Structure 1
Amino acid sequence: MSLRRTLVRTTLALAILGAAIGAALAVFLVRGSGKLVVLPVPTGSYAVGRVSYDWVDESRQEVFAPKQGEKGSGAKHKKRELMVWFWYPATPDSGAKPGAYLPGKWGRAIERDRGPFLWQRLDWVQVHAIPDAPVSAAQPGYPVLIFSTGYGRVPTDYTVLAEDLASHGYVVVGIANTYSAPVVAFPDGRVVSRVREAALPEGSRPAEKTAADRLVMVWAEDVIFVIDQLDRLSTDASGGFFGRLDVTRLGVFGHSFGGAAAVEACSRDSRCKAAVDIGGALFGDVPRVGLKQPCMFVLGERATPPRIVFLTHRFSRREAEEELAREIRDMDSASRAALAAYKVSVHGARHFNFSDSAVLFSPIMKAGGTLGSIEGARGLRITSDYVRAFFDKYLNNADSPLLDGAPSEYPEVSFESRAGPTGVSPETGK
């Protein structure tokens, strides 16, 4: 059984429980969940814009859509339909103000799904991105990073990371995986919920492993479809991104199960020039066939699994350690043929420190041990800096001392690198 899958599924289950018991805790918890939270200020020189698109992949049937009238139904198309969020360098109009963390039906549906008291009230979260702001003309074209979320998450759950990368000149494109995301709200008013058929399977039996491999392939195909759409968007003279997307400089990254999907997609599509997996165990073909493009694995603290795992499942510490060791072996196997490979381990970070949960009111995660001891904003800053250094090197041909293995300003980080397809020794030189 995969610890990472168990952790994600357990956290989602506790969120549902939180919705049921939240009213009893309202007096205490509303004060925290209703407190204004200003997300960390992006560190780059660009203002940030945000926009979303509703795209239909006419080449693929929607395999997860429930029948009309069943829970989660609401599909308008029999083809695969996705909502995609963009964060990008922008030149806002004078007086333009940031938008909502999750606007309209998105926010209301997510809060119903997660519960009103054990999670941050989203209308009390202040972002920095300006809705529909014009794309900055400071550069003729910007490199593109496609982001695949963790299971049970939506792109805005990673706003801190997306805004920071966009402020440094990247167009960040986040995918809401329909029927796997908790909710997806379409512009015409439809709200689609997650369904069991598109859930992340839990267990280590062959059938469950096969189901997880099948799901990661769907997510990887979502990424590849988005790459196709970016080509079209960049050449659409009537659109705001006309000529602004440099799809020759394209990378893919993701968190948790989305990290696995990012690496799988990159292994299947040469238009992806580099890939980053943040805290994601690998599925699909990539552990076996490998990845040729440069890759980076960003890991949290792995020595002791979160206590929530031991409280809710019959894991021994030994079994947990063996599972984590297998995940590392898969990463080593997948990256053996890569042009270059990196491992960045952030001490004090747990699985959800790589999302906005690190800086939002989320006592259920703190109690369960899925957030680590590192200060939330600092952990996200470290993650963004290393992800950006990696993509700067392989998309912009700009070296960074963070990738040289020299001592950095982040003593929490353990760093290893491999050069060339043979996988030479770590940066220590041993």
Structure 2
Amino acid sequence: MPPPEVLLVCSTAVSSLAVWSPSRVHRSSARVAVVLLLAAGAGLVVFGEPRWQWLPIIAGAVLALVAVTASRRARRRASRRAVTAAAAASLAVTAVGALAAWSFPVVDLPEPTGEYAVGTTTVQWDDRGREETWTDDPDDHRVVVAQIWYPAERPEDGRTRAPYLGWSAEEARVVADGLAGAFGVPGFLLDDAARAGTHATADADVAEGRPRYPVVVFSPGLGGVRSQNTAWAQELASHGYVVAALDHPHDSAVVVLEDGTVVRGRAAATGETDEDERRAAEWTSIRARDMRLALARLREANDSGRGPFAGRLDLDRVAAAGHSLGGAAAIAAAVRDHGFAAVIDLDGYPGRVETTAYPQPLLALVAGAGTGDAEGDRRYEESLEEVLGASAGPSYRLTVPDAAHLSFTDAPLYLPPVPSLVGTGDRTAVHRITARATLVFLDATLRGARVDLDAALAELGELTGPSA
């Protein structure tokens, strides 16, 4: 919790304890509680932004002060019982607020560790020759939105950080509400995520350190959004990679197009295994085509002689990457388009991919917590082994201990640390492992770094697979 919230909690605790304190310390305890409350209030006004978690904490602090004030006048037994009940209630209400503040913290993305500053920009790519199959309008064509993270020149003093969930505060609010709906929780629970900032500068100049930068095209999970792996994308960019993270309209939870149109997710399961597998295979195919479109548009931007990325992208060294359904889409895109030189699958079930031999090396990161379903884990294991075996390049399966499915995204930074949901209680532990594993894999496969890849990956988890 931020310091002002800690002071509020301390004020409540001191006030409540004063109710049961001997008379000789009662007055001094009450004064300490008032000072703490005033200091907390000043801190909230000066340094904080309003958070919904404040409501129960402030209510508890005020109720505690009322109780400690009333306790000095309570002479009758009934009055003393009422004061004691009020003090106990203040502790309970404050505990609820403190738990809420801990469960839904102020979002603080990990600082990138690479040598480069990070820039970001958003583009929209239209594929006018491709019908939009999510709608019935025959004139509707496919559109993909991408956020590009890249090595940048150091920003000038005073440049603000780019927002986290959207290009503007308004878009971030829309995206936060869409994600909340996907998680099945009220939108206000993600207020902190909606207000969060990144470590990137919007539209910064591309860094001059290298003549050209390798590229990673990223697809999020089903219902996910382009920003869901921002911490990971920023880390890669700080180490000299350009990351194009995609929004898939009608599939992502919500996508805001450049004209302001809001496209909400429509992908939904039916509960019937065969039909859901058919749908998932179709969605995977659509996403794979989106990733191939991204690669084509990046080639055009690189070759055009115009724009910030002209001549700056090394498109002979491109990786397809994705989380969950996006991981399956990355494999499918690489199988069809050998312009992708490597593949990264972040806990994606590849059973919807038509498995044929493909030349690219593959790194699959797997959640050590599993799916919670023995049959699902078995099918996932078999499917992943088949895909790993189809790679003509070196292939690796790295199982990350204590990781859950959402651990490979930014979700641990703003959701409650429930192990089955986001894995280990350390909110950044899996991020560090994911970033390290993908960087060492990309450096070896795209940049030809001389490294014992097996040994480097084995330090991060349980390494298995045909090449391990």
Regarding TM over 0.5, the answer is: yes
Q: Secondary structure in 2 aligned to 1:130? A: strand
Partner Cα distance (2:194, 2:374) in 1: 40
Q: Which residue of 1 aligns with 2:223?
A: 152
Q: Which aligned pairs between 1:18-37 and structure 2 lie closer than 5 A?
A: 27=56, 28=97, 31=101, 36-37=106-107
> Cα deviation per residue 1:46-94 (whole Å; 9 max; x = unaligned)?
0000001011012210011366xxxxxxx9x711011111000001441
The structural deviation recorded for 1:344 is 0.7
Partner Cα distance (2:261, 2:386) in 1: 42
Match of 2:160 among 97, 118, 141: 97
The structural deviation recorded for 1:130 is 0.5
The structural deviation recorded for 1:401 is 4.0
Structure 1 unpaired stretches of 5+: 1-22, 68-74, 307-319, 420-426
CA contact (8 A) 1:390 1:403 kept: no
Q: Which residue of 2 aligns with 1:166?
A: 237
CA contact (8 A) 2:255 2:263 kept: yes
Q: Which residue of 1 aligns with 2:108?
A: 38
Q: Which residue of 1 aligns with 2:31?
A: none
The structural deviation recorded for 1:388 is 1.1
Q: Secondary structure in 1 aligned to 2:188? A: coil
CA contact (8 A) 2:437 2:457 kept: no
The structural deviation recorded for 1:417 is 4.6
Percentage of matched positions with identical amino acids: 28
Cα pair distance change 1:207/1:417, threshold 3 Å: closer
CA contact (8 A) 1:46 1:166 kept: yes
Partner Cα distance (2:55, 2:272) in 1: 39
Q: Secondary structure in 1 aligned to 2:390? A: coil
CA contact (8 A) 1:135 1:240 kept: yes
Q: Which aligned pairs between 1:285-364 and structure 2 lie closer than 5 A?
A: 285-286=353-354, 288-302=355-369, 305-306=371-372, 320-338=373-391, 339-360=393-414, 362-363=415-416
Q: Which residue of 2 aligns with 1:8?
A: none
The structural deviation recorded for 1:353 is 0.7
CA contact (8 A) 2:406 2:412 kept: yes
Q: Which residue of 2 aligns with 1:182?
A: 253
Partner Cα distance (1:378, 1:66) in 2: 44
Q: Does 1:49 align with 2:119?
A: yes
Cα pair distance change 1:116/1:206, threshold 3 Å: closer
Letter in 2 for 1:122: A
What is the TM-score normalised by the length of structure 1? 0.79
Give 1 or 2: higher helix fraction.
2
CA contact (8 A) 1:49 1:133 kept: yes
> Cα deviation per residue 1:351-403 (whole Å; 9 max; x = unaligned)?
1111111122x13xx44821112512121010011011111111100133453
What is the TM-score normalised by the length of structure 2? 0.73
Q: Which residue of 1 aligns with 2:14?
A: none
Cα pair distance change 1:406/1:260, threshold 3 Å: closer
CA contact (8 A) 1:216 1:261 kept: yes
The structural deviation recorded for 1:108 is 1.6
Q: Which aligned pairs between 1:145-294 and structure 2 lie closer than 5 A?
A: 145-195=216-266, 199-201=267-269, 203=271, 205-286=273-354, 288-294=355-361
Q: Which residue of 1 aligns with 2:435?
A: 384
Cα pair distance change 1:405/1:91, threshold 3 Å: closer
Letter in 2 for 1:91: E
Structure 2 unpaired stretches of 5+: 1-51, 57-96, 181-185
Letter in 2 for 1:394: T
> Which protein has the larger Cα radius of gyration, Structure 1 or Structure 2?
2
Cα pair distance change 1:201/1:399, threshold 3 Å: farther
The structural deviation recorded for 1:119 is 3.0
> Cα deviation per residue 1:176-234 (whole Å; 9 max; x = unaligned)?
00011111112222111112xxx153546333322211111001000011111011010
Q: Does 1:118 align with 2:176?
A: no
Q: Secondary structure in 2 aligned to 1:129? A: strand
* Greater than 6 Å deviation, 4+ residue runs: 23-26
> Cα deviation per residue 1:323-363 (whole Å; 9 max; x = unaligned)?
21111111111121311110111111101111111122x13
Q: Which residue of 2 aligns with 1:369?
A: 420
Partner Cα distance (1:200, 1:246) in 2: 37
| Number of matched pairs | 367
Match of 2:455 among 404, 427, 430: 404
Partner Cα distance (1:215, 1:399) in 2: 38
Cα pair distance change 1:131/1:240, threshold 3 Å: same
CA contact (8 A) 1:89 1:170 kept: yes
The structural deviation recorded for 1:33 is 7.8
Cα pair distance change 1:240/1:91, threshold 3 Å: same
Cα pair distance change 1:354/1:137, threshold 3 Å: same
Cα pair distance change 1:345/1:35, threshold 3 Å: closer
Partner Cα distance (2:424, 2:291) in 1: 33
Cα pair distance change 1:112/1:206, threshold 3 Å: closer
Q: Which residue of 2 aligns with 1:138?
A: 209
Q: Does 1:109 align with 2:174?
A: yes
Q: Which residue of 1 aligns with 2:84?
A: none
Partner Cα distance (1:245, 1:406) in 2: 27
